[in-house]
Amino acid sequence: MQPPLTKDYFSLFGLPIDFHIDDEELTARYREMQSAVHPDRYASAAAQEQRISLQMAARINEAYETLRHPMSRIRYMLELKGVDPRQADSSPDPAFLARQIEWRETLEEIRESGDPGHGLAALSEEAGACIATLLEKVAAELKDDARLSSALTHFLELQYYYRLLEEARDIEDMLEQGGPGRT
């Protein structure tokens, strides 16, 4: 048993380095690999084999969790190309920021009124559409090293949209459970 600790996550699963991955294929390969290296299979093995099994299982889990979520996959792909999103200038475009502020104000009005009729569904739908559009842009940009700066900018914007969508879902849950008020 040789630990795949030096392979990138895509190579570990035998996948091309690409944003678009087949979720079912990823999950099938994950299960197959975990089955082969699961520490329970090495319970009676030598201590070194047990340790290697544990390291491999942890690496496979980490790789799977990273690749199965679009945002962590983008972050990982940027890092593979030498771009650290944590070191990026996170100053959004003023027009983008103004739109985010407007949406946050709408969310606050909905939260305070307790009335999702103020546009919660429309806001969630619009944010979801923006996410889908940006994911496709980032997928294309990650294929071209000359466009990594743009991919990073769109990645940062995606973080805003996902937080907005999460907040909208929290408000929806709050309204379903008891009406207006602060969460």
Domain map (residue ranges) of the chain: 9-68, 87-178
Residues found in the chain: 183
Q: What is the pLDDT of residues 54-108, one digit of tens each?
A: 999 999 999 999 999 999 999 999 999 999 988 877 677 889 889 989 999 989 8
pLDDT in the model for residue 114: 79
Higher-confidence residue: 128 or 172?
128
Instruction: Find out whether 67 and 21 touch, Cβ atoms under 8 Å.
Output: yes
Dig out the tokens for 147 from the structure. Answer: 């466009």
pLDDT score of 181 more than 60: no
- Per the listing, tokens 């699963």 go with 13
Q: Which of 154, 171, 175 is nearest to 106 (CA)?
A: 171
Closest CA to 107 of 93, 99, 92, 118: 118
Taking only Cα atoms into account, the Rg of the chain, rounded to an integer number of angstroms, comes to 21
Place 3 in a pLDDT band, splitting at 50, 70 and 90: very low
pLDDT in tens, 9-50: 999 999 999 999 999 999 999 999 999 988 888 888 888 888
Which residue is associated with the tokens 């009124």?
113
Q: Which CATH superfamily is domain 87-178 in?
A: HscB, C-terminal domain (1.20.1280.20)
Question: Could you tell me which of 36, 45, 27, 20 has the C-alpha nearest to residue 136?
Answer: 20
What is residue 166's three-state secondary structure? helix
The span from the CA of 62 to the CA of 56, in Å, is: 10
Residue 79 is which amino acid? E
State how far the Cα of 141 lies from the Cα of 137, in Å rounded to an integer: 6
**Confidence (pLDDT) at 182:** 44
- Residues 9-68, CATH architecture: Orthogonal Bundle (1.10)
Identify whether the C-beta of residue 83 lies closer than 8 Å to the C-beta of residue 148.
Answer: yes
Rounded to whole angstroms, the Cα distance separating 113 from 105 reads 12
Q: What is the mean pLDDT of residues 160-174?
A: 91
Residue 118: what pLDDT?
A: 62
Query: Under DSSP, is residue 161 helix (H, G, I), strand (E, B) or coil?
Result: helix
What was the pLDDT predicted at 42? Answer: 85
pLDDT at 2: 53
Most confidently modeled of 45-59, 108-122, 132-146?
Answer: 132-146
CA angle at residue 139 from 120 to 63, to 5 degrees?
A: 95
Does residue 4 have a pLDDT over 70?
A: no
Indicate whether 183 pLDDT > 50. Answer: no
**Per-residue confidence (pLDDT) for residue 22, from 0 to 100:** 95
